[in-house]
């Protein structure tokens, strides 16, 4: 039977699954047993081995942004075997699955699927089989954990008081996947969203997040300064774009040092300057480009506006004109990742029940960026860092390192937290009761 028929059959039969769902209110004892059942299901040796197998299969066949066809097919095949309905293709390779009655509230859980153009330098049994491509950010683990959550939630679907939307998203590394998924209506009716990232900064079994501002927004800009070229020994006959570019670069540094609150972290760096071809010719134009980052949404917005104003103003002083571009194809602007404070509280409570209160930390601000921020711009949600640092197996290298190693013990932890978030959302949002 071909895949299209499979998919059609799933949609035909899913209402039967959905009809088993009903609304219940958890008492303390019931929720206690629910937590134990989640942990039991997540740590079931069969499920753990299944998640490892999925993660290793994806790791061996890494696919870059928007090329995640095999990964997507694997996800669909596993969802099909779990009896979970899904929609595909969404944003080319993305998959959106659904578990629950189809009634509100809707809770979304997200995993990203893409790999990086890096040659893996870790020698192990399941090393990347594709030269120059590697899952060096742990997105293979994210997929396995979300499929693990799908399995747990499918087994506990009678306990679900929400409709769970499972988002398998392409192209996070290019910073465009989330945006494209949103354009394809994946957040329609969604009340809250939750996502996580594995990190080696925290040991396996520890999690960290923070309310409000969390990760920096990241943007890039490119400016072309137009003057009038001529002989460098007769400058009065030219309009010098090199001088205009130079004063622009210096003035940009005044934005952070003179206009920004020193306690509100911001960065502007000009990292590329190009002009001219000889020491005695004033060129027609000069180009420079750089990056800017800010932790708060307001500062991120303000800094972008000021970059343009300063370049255009400084250029005009020197009788030149400027064209300033943001959102380059290779470096799209990603807004700051800002956690909703209420959802953060829930995530914090839920994850502390899974990993223990002593292992649930308040994360510092990070200057890294995540395209999960696009979802958080649209609906309340929270992003969590899940520790997988483990010196014994070499899981100590940062993201995007060719030596990046995932401690697979993180898989059941991530799956359990995803599932626990979905299973506790309704009681939390209606009664604010604890998930015990």
SS3 of residue 319 by DSSP? coil
List for the chain the helix, strand, coil content (%; round to 5): 40, 25, 35
| Cα 281 to Cα 237, 243, 301, 390, distances in angstroms | 12, 13, 38, 57
Closest to Zn ion by CB, 78 or 371: 371
**Cβ(379)–Cβ(193) below 8 Å:** yes
Closest to Zn ion by CB, 107 or 196: 196
Site string for Zn ion, 333-372 (x = CB under 5 A): ----------------------------------------
| Cα 53 to Cα 49, 71, 270, 392, distances in angstroms | 6, 13, 44, 21
**Cβ(152)–Cβ(416) below 8 Å:** yes
- Least Å distance between CB 166 and Zn ion? 18
Closest to Zn ion by CB, 61 or 197: 197
Q: Residues 6 or more apart from 193 whose CB is under 8 A from it?
A: 107, 108, 109, 110, 187, 375, 376, 379, 380, 381
- Least Å distance between CB 370 and Zn ion? 7
Q: Which listed range, 135-143, 152-160, 291-299, 418-426, lies at the site for Zn ion (CB under 5 A)?
A: 135-143
SS3 of residue 62 by DSSP? coil
- Least Å distance between CB 204 and Zn ion? 17
- Least Å distance between CB 399 and Zn ion? 5
Q: Does 122 bind Zn ion (CB under 5 A)?
A: no
- Least Å distance between CB 43 and Zn ion? 25
Closest to Zn ion by CB, 175 or 412: 175
Q: Which listed range, 56-64, 136-144, 319-327, 407-415, lies at the site for Zn ion (CB under 5 A)?
A: 136-144
Strand partners of residue 289: 222, 272
Enter the tokens of residue 1: 């039977």
Closest to Zn ion by CB, 137 or 307: 137
What is the C-alpha to C-alpha distance for residues 154 and 42, in angstroms, rounded to an integer? Answer: 12
State the residue for tokens 């997929």.
Answer: 143
Total of residues contacting Zn ion (CB under 5 A): 2
Closest to Zn ion by CB, 297 or 399: 399
Q: Which listed range, 134-142, 280-288, 327-335, 358-366, lies at the site for Zn ion (CB under 5 A)?
A: 134-142
- Least Å distance between CB 368 and Zn ion? 8
Strand partners of residue 390: 395
- Least Å distance between CB 116 and Zn ion? 7
Give the start-end residues of each E strand in 122-216.
Answer: 163-169, 190-203, 207-209, 212-215
- Least Å distance between CB 182 and Zn ion? 18
Q: Which residue is nearest to Zn ion (CB)?
A: 137
DSSP letters for 152-179: HHHHTGGG--SEEEEEEES-TTTT-HHH
Q: Which listed range, 234-242, 258-266, 393-401, 413-421, lies at the site for Zn ion (CB under 5 A)?
A: 393-401
**Residues of span 69-88 touching Zn ion by CB under 5 A:** none
Burial 109-130 (b: 16+ CB within 10 A, else e): bbbbbbbbebebebeeeeebee
What is the C-alpha to C-alpha distance for residues 261 and 213, in angstroms, rounded to an integer? Answer: 15
From candidates 58, 134, 137, 415, binder to Zn ion by CB under 5 A: 137
Strand partners of residue 164: 99, 107
- Least Å distance between CB 404 and Zn ion? 9
Closest to Zn ion by CB, 37 or 399: 399
Closest to Zn ion by CB, 231 or 400: 400
Site string for Zn ion, 394-423 (x = CB under 5 A): -----x------------------------
**Residues of span 162-221 touching Zn ion by CB under 5 A:** none
Q: Chain-centre distance of CA 176, in angstroms?
A: 10
- Least Å distance between CB 134 and Zn ion? 11
Closest to Zn ion by CB, 39 or 167: 167
Binding residues (CB under 5 A) for Zn ion: these are 137, 399
């Amino acid at each position: 039977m071909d895949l299209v028929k499979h998919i059609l059959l799933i949609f035909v039969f899913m209402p039967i699954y959905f009809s088993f769902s009903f609304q219940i209110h958890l008492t303390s004892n019931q929720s206690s047993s629910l937590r134990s059942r989640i942990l039991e299901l997540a740590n079931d040796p069969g499920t753990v081995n299944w998640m490892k197998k999925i993660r290793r299969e994806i790791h061996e066949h890494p696919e870059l942004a928007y090329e995640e066809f095999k990964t997507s097919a694997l996800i669909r095949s596993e969802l099909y075997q779990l009896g979970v309905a899904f929609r595909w293709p969404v944003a080319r390779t993305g998959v959106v699955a659904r578990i629950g009655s189809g009634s509100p509230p809707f809770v979304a859980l997200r995993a990203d699927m893409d790999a990086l153009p890096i040659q893996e330098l870790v020698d192990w049994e399941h090393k990347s089989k594709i030269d120059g491509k590697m899952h060096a950010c742990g997105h293979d683990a994210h997929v396995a954990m979300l499929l693990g959550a799908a399995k747990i939630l499918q087994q506990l679907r009678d306990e679900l008081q929400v409709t769970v939307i499972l988002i398998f998203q392409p192209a996070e590394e290019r910073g465009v996947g989330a945006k494209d998924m949103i354009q394809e209506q994946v957040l329609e009716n969604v009340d809250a969203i939750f996502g996580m990232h594995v990190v080696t900064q925290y040991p396996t079994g520890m999690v960290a997040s923070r309310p409000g501002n969390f990760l920096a927004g990241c943007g890039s800009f490119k400016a072309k300064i137009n003057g009038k070229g001529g002989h460098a020994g007769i400058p009065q006959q030219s309009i010098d774009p090199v001088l205009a570019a130079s004063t622009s670069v210096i003035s940009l540094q005044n934005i952070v040092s003179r206009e920004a609150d020193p306690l509100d972290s911001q960065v502007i760096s000009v990292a590329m300057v190009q002009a001219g071809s000889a020491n005695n010719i004033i060129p027609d134009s000069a180009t420079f480009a750089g990056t800017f980052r800010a932790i708060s949404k307001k500062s991120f917005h303000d800094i972008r506006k000021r970059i343009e104003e300063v370049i255009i103003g400084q250029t005009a002083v020197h009788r030149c004109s400027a064209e300033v571009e943001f959102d380059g194809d290779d470096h799209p602007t990603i807004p700051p990742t800002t956690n909703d404070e209420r959802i953060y509280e829930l995530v914090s409570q839920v994850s502390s029940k899974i990993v223990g209160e002593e292992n649930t930390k308040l994360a510092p601000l990070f200057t890294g960026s995540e395209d999960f921020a696009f979802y958080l711009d649209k609906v309340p949600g929270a992003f969590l860092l899940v520790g997988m640092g483990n010196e014994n197996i070499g899981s100590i290298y940062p993201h995007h390192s060719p030596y990046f190693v995932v401690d697979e013990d993180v898989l059941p932890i991530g799956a359990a937290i995803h599932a626990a978030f979905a299973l506790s959302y309704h009681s939390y949002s209606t009664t604010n009761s604890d998930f015990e």
